[in-house]
Amino acid sequence: MKNKFIFLLLIVSFSSYAQNKNNINNKHIQFNLGRASHGTGDMRGLIFTTEYGKDFKKHLSWIIGISGTIHDGFRSNFFESNGNLIDGSIRYTTAGVQAVGQIGYSAIKTTEHEIQIRAGALVRYQSSSFYDDVSILFPGGTGLPFPVIVFNNTTPQRTYSIGGNFEIHYNYTITKKIMIGILAGLQTDTNGDTISQLSLSIGRRF
């Protein structure tokens, strides 16, 4: 009878251990939103990312995500016509979408706090109306009552590129499943575009 009781106790203990192990929240979904700077034209804008990640060791994880960026800028060009001030500024926008894969190392990882360093690769599609070269001919040189703008585009409007990125994340777990955080990141690609970001994030562990 005693042996049967010990055997039953071992089974219950093992079952409880296995259940607790399976309940470890080693996966997450996270949404990031923040300000970003685009090196081409020194444009300011936004970046937003949805990501999924999973721990495969205590301090290591893999992450995949989809990001979108949108940046814009302008070059001032005001002139008078018939006594009216005309805003003839040159406006441009660059937007892109990219798929990202990363490996993350959690330098600090506790129940509430996590500092993670990430590095990875990306594939990016981008569309841009930013010019390669522009000349503005003013009325004094053309004899016309308004400026003449001449564009010279030497690169494609739509581009595909591959690249790499580096990020530092801090996450704070509010409850067992909900976390908030902040991240800083830098990326570059074969199109010569460099994008830096500072974002806030919210996510769920499961």
Residue 2: inside a domain: no
Residue 19: inside a domain: no
Structure tokens at 52: 């999924």
Residue 68: inside a domain: yes
Residue 43: inside a domain: yes
**Structural domain of residue 128, as residue ranges?**
27-205
pLDDT of residue 41: 64
Per-residue model confidence as pLDDT tens for the chain (206 residues): 545 444 444 444 444 444 444 445 889 999 999 999 998 768 999 999 999 999 999 899 999 999 999 999 998 988 888 889 989 899 999 999 999 999 999 999 998 999 999 999 999 999 999 998 988 898 888 888 888 999 999 999 999 999 999 999 999 999 888 999 999 999 999 999 999 999 999 999 99
What is the rounded distance in angstroms from the CA atom of residue 118 to the CA atom of residue 101?
A: 10
pLDDT of residue 7: 44
- For residue 135, give the CATH number of its domain: 2.40.160.20
Residue pair 96/126 in contact by the 8 Å Cβ criterion: yes
Residue 162: inside a domain: yes
Q: Is the dihedral of CA 44, 46, 52, 53 positive or negative?
A: positive
Residue 15: inside a domain: no
Residue 155: inside a domain: yes
Who's near 145: CB < 8 A, 6+ residues apart? Answer: 81, 139
Residue pair 162/182 in contact by the 8 Å Cβ criterion: no
What is the rounded distance in angstroms from the CA atom of residue 173 to the CA atom of residue 114?
A: 8
Residue 196: inside a domain: yes
**What is the tally of structural domains in the chain?**
1
Residue pair 131/151 in contact by the 8 Å Cβ criterion: yes
Is residue 109 classed as helix, strand or coil in its secondary structure? strand
